[in-house]
Structure 1
Amino acid sequence: MITNKVMKKRTKPLILKKYELLLPRLHINFPRLPDMQHEYNKRKKGYKGELQVDYHLETLPPEFTILQDVCLQVQGRTFQMDNLVITQQAIYIVDVKNYNGTIIFDTTFDQFTRDDGKVEMGFSHPITQVELQQSNLQQWLLERNLPNIPIYYFIAISDPSTIIKVEGDKEIIAKVVAHGANIPKKIMDVNTQLASGATFQNRKMGHAISKESTEFDMDIMTMHGIKSADLLPGVECPDCGVLGIKRVHSGWKCYKCKKKFRDAHKPALAAYLLFVTPWITNSECMRFLKFNAKNVATRLLREYGLFYDEGRRRWIEK
């Protein structure tokens, strides 16, 4: 249920899109490929969990303002929050976790583990993570002389089949941790208790935060030790994923599945501009897309929306 209360809507994360462009262009024997695939799968699972929780949060009353995937800077640091729900009484940070099996919060030793039936593994404590987000957001509001609105937080477990266990003080964990479907009620309960206190302009606050929110990014090339020379050239088949399909009249044809596509080259150009250089020449276009026709390169680059710099004889993004 999508309503106008969602002021900032979630889109596929830039880092996830980067992995999807990069992974097909690495040789199967690239040393860091397994690590990259693991990181991609983890982020893809996280995004899927966020979308599941979005569905539940969007059932909140229309007077609540929702911002999805917020990324801000404070004192030179970037911090990212999965969801902000802003009411006239408070701001609620909703951090999303997508775990399989059983998760255990140990309040005695202040540790967090997951048991997927095969191995028990420790993770960074979700409450510590969201408390840092709370502190950063408070500092961000203070630096901009915005109202000192109360900030609460919740941790949404996106998969309803995940079992939540607590060793120690169950009440402390139960106040802030729940499956995604139960988070709206928790927000409503707290907000009702605050109803007699000070009120704030939640839409105005939402606009101020949304205006400064940027897209969270990371240099995954450096992170995984990848050089531009490691990238395999060629156009990927949108259907079967084979790399190196052929340029034919007004399109591309896959030699494996025999299907034809008009715009199969666009992800290859996006990968080049992201990971090689933010500009491209006709000759580099022909080399990277693996065809030999300068007039076709000119047309494809123009249609892609690039601007031709005559002085430097190269195409750049407008």
Structure 2
Amino acid sequence: MILKNRTKPRPLVKLDAAIPRTPSQFPLLAKMKEDAKIRQLGYTGERKVDYHLDNLAQMFTILHDVYLCVNGKNTQMDSVIIANHSIATVDDKNYHGTITFNTLLKQLTRDDGQTEAGFEYPITQVHNQQFHLQNWLAQQNMSQIPVNSYVAIADPSTIIKVHGDEKEIAQTVAHGAAMPKVIMEQDQQLAKQGARKLPHHQIGKKLLHACGEFDIDIMKKYGLKPSAILPGVICPDCEHRGMARVFNGWSCPKCQCHSKNAHLNALEDYFLLVKRTITNSECMRFLQIPTRGTATRILKSSGLTYLPAHKCWIQPTR
């Protein structure tokens, strides 16, 4: 069973909302775009690996995108698979070209045919994740559960090379398509050694209850002020910012697209980037609508909660 599905990472959601609403002359806009590209690449790789790992859902319990705080330290695991006799953590890597693990120097390099670059050693990363998860299990009086950690390479065309101990890397690293077999074989080996069967669904529910959500304040990270966020309803077809309010919806002056609910995305952008509440006058300014009555009708029909004491609207708790 899949107890926790993967959703688009919140920092990427915020960047995707902020970039079209950031003035073109903003000095860190190029950096924002590059960071969004990297985060999207990582998310795409995670989804590729999920496609294969989810084949284990009929036998085991799976949680994707697990974010825990253990002893004051935060740790993020791309996937946790609670099998019959053990737990596996999987860290996804979406590298292209040729990657080389140097087991002596504890270094990973990637050659994509144009440049060679070094990266944090994935084996060290997953061992740290394993350590934090084992600490969490100990706090739940489950310290006896075996935990294995793996690195999944998302792109099947990525060439994996090793300088040093190939067996060491082969025990931990595999392409995404091979990862379910690796996890099952290790769990079956533990079963043959007499490891007790785990209540994997109950353990998964405990882990789910402890999960938080990874987030960053992108406004602070890039020095972007809420007042700099550009207003307007963005066209869902051509992405022009500045749809006009017309009878029963919104009209794009650039491509003539008509949408009934384009304002919902604009309001979501406001709550993500500006603040968690919105007044009628702020709605008029951000959606660029001329009358207070129209703003009130839009806010009422948008699934928001009105706070009379503060004369503002807020998104309901999800």
Mark yes or no: TM-score above 0.5: yes
Distance 1:108 1:91 in 2: 28
How far off its partner does 1:312 sit? 2.1
Q: Tell me whether 1:30 sits opposite 2:40 in the alignment.
A: no
Q: State the distance in 1 between where 2:226 and 2:251 align.
A: 26
Distance (Å, rounded) in 1 between the aligned partners of 2:265 and 2:164: 50
Which amino acid letter does the alignment assign opposite residue 47 of structure 2?
Answer: L
**Paired amino acid for 2:96:** N
Counterparts of 2:54 and 2:314, CA distance in 1: 40
Letter of the 2:35 partner, please give it: E
In structure 1, which of residues 220, 226, 229 is the aligned counterpart of residue 227 of structure 2? 229
- Cα RMSD of the aligned pairs, angstroms, is 1.3
Equivalent residues in 2 for 1:139-158, closer than 5 Å: 139-158=135-154
Distance in structure 2 (CA, Å) of the matches to 1:106 and 1:71: 29
Within 5 Å, give how 1:66-81 maps onto structure 2: 66-81=62-77
Say if 1:250 and 1:61 are closer, same or farther in 2 by CA, change over 3 A: closer
**1:274 matched residue in structure 2:** 272
- Match of residue 117 from structure 1: 113
Mapped pair 1:239 → 2:246:
no
Q: What's the offset of the Cα at 1:71?
A: 1.1
Deviation at 1:261, TM superposition (A): 0.6
Distance (whole Å) between structure 1 residues aligned to residue 218 and residue 234 of structure 2: 20
Native 8 Å contact 2:87 2:147 kept in 1: yes
Deviation >6 Å, runs of 4+: none
Q: Which amino acid aligns with 2:235?
A: C
The equivalent of 1:103 in structure 2 is 99
Measure how far apart 1:61 and its partner are: 6.4
Q: What is the identity, as a one-letter code, of the residue corresponding to 1:167?
A: H
Give, in whole Å, the separation in 2 of the partners of 1:270 and 1:308. Answer: 16
Report percent identity of matched pairs.
47
Structure 1 position 303 matched with structure 2 position 276:
no
* 1:213 aligned residue: 211
- Contact 2:226–2:274 (CA<8 Å) still a contact in 1? yes
CA distance in structure 1 between the aligned counterparts of 2:161 and 2:299, rounded to whole angstroms? 55
Distance across 2 between alignment mates of 1:137 and 1:199: 19
What residue in structure 2 maps to residue 168 of structure 1? 164
Give, in whole Å, the separation in 2 of the partners of 1:147 and 1:62: 25
- Give the Å deviation of 1:309: 2.0
* Aligned-partner Cα distance in 1 for 2:279–2:57: 52
Q: CA separation in 2, counterparts of 1:14 and 1:163?
A: 31
Question: 1:262 corresponds to which residue?
Answer: 260
In 2, Cα distance between equivalents of 1:58 and 1:312: 46
> TM-score scaled to structure 2, two decimals?
0.95
The 8 Å contact of residues 67 and 211 in structure 2, kept in 1 or not, is answered as: yes
Deviation at 1:108, TM superposition (A): 1.8
Long gaps (5+) in structure 2:
none
Give CA deviations for 1:127-181 in whole Å, capped at 9, x if unaligned.
1111111111111112232353111011000000111111111111111111101
Partner of 1:51: 47
TM-score relative to the length of structure 1: 0.95
- The answer to whether the Cα contact below 8 Å between 2:42 and 2:94 also exists between their aligned partners in 1 is yes
